[in-house]
Amino acid sequence: MNKDIATPIRTKEILNKYGFSFKKSLGQNFIIDPNILRNIVQHAHLTEESGAIEVGPGIGALTEHLARAAKKVVAFEIDQRLLPVLEDTLSPYNNVRVVHSDILKADVQSVIEQEMPDLKDIMVVANLPYYVTTPILIKLLTENLPIRGLVVMMQKEVADRITAQPGTKNYGSLSIAIQYYGTAEVAMIVPKTVFMPQPNVDSAVIRIIKHDQPPVKVITEEFFFEVTRASFAQRRKTILNNLQSGLTKGKEKKQYILDALESSGIDPSRRGETLSIEEFGKLADALYPYFFKQ
């Protein structure tokens, strides 16, 4: 068994060897506790027939645990300075491929086709850069990739928003977007002390298992998400006010919005955060004909 990368001593050795300095702009925080990494990997339920996709492998601390658990690991790293480091730290593992690319610009689908053509079970497992957590999640969920789900570390505050239920202060359009694509739960809370450098906030690992079918069937996903975003534009406002100001020409279409709310059985004085995903689905479909005249 190779010596774990994720210990404070080994991490410092590697950083010193390569004269590596952390880039704040890339949100680089490396984990220095092998137990945390083992736990993260366990939550992904990988087998010897699984593939793992990682975003931002850093110096390879999580990557090596994935390499031990899965058949193949593909890690997307944006920071060119880390490529020689990863080549060195991951040299004991012949089932890892590091792709030098910004995950937000990468064609993940074709990388999966090339690197994991025969794998039926693929999970995204990553310690996500905190400043782009949401765009990365939305990209990986909306691109219809052949993945079972994601086990990802993020700021605890974002995890709270993702897993929030209707009627709570954290519930918003992000909660609904994630709910549309999968079932999300907080798998573990991670203290800031296990990172180098230490971030200012605690972190959480969430697991999202993708739905086979979305929980609501809507006329168009795009308009459904537009309606949910508009409904949360200003949290203290009623759904009627938010839709009027948030939807294109909403002010002129106040009567139509009222009609759609009534036919969906939604009181116009309710707030967005009290509506379930099913109610948003009904409402978006009721509004659709008024905003897209056939």
94 is in an annotated binding site: no
Average pLDDT value for the chain: 94
Say what the pLDDT of residue 250 is: 84
Looking at the whole model, is its pTM more than 0.95? no
Say what the pLDDT of residue 248 is: 87
Average pLDDT over residues 66-86: 96
Say what the pLDDT of residue 53 is: 98
Same structural domain, 48 and 170: yes
Domain that holds residue 280: 221-291
56 is in an annotated binding site: yes
Please say which residue of 178, 210, 242 terminates a domain: 210
Say what the pLDDT of residue 294 is: 47
102 is in an annotated binding site: yes
Same structural domain, 18 and 155: yes
The confidence band for 102, taking pLDDT boundaries of 50, 70 and 90, is: very high
Same structural domain, 97 and 140: yes
The confidence band for 78, taking pLDDT boundaries of 50, 70 and 90, is: very high
List all residues 6 or more positions away from 114 whose beta carbon is below 8 Å from its beta carbon. Answer: none
What per-residue string of b and e applies to 176-206 under the rule 16 or more CB within 10 Å gives b?
bbbbbbbebeebbebeeebbbeeeeeebbbb
Q: What is the CATH number of the domain that holds 28?
A: 3.40.50.150
For residues 216 and 130, which has the higher predicted lDDT (pLDDT)? 216
Average pLDDT over residues 25-46: 90
The confidence band for 224, taking pLDDT boundaries of 50, 70 and 90, is: very high
**Distance separating alpha carbons of residues 83 and 85, to the nearest angstrom:** 5
User: Residue 107: enclosing H or E segment and its boundaries?
Assistant: none
31 is in an annotated binding site: yes
pLDDT in tens, 168-183: 999 999 999 999 999 9
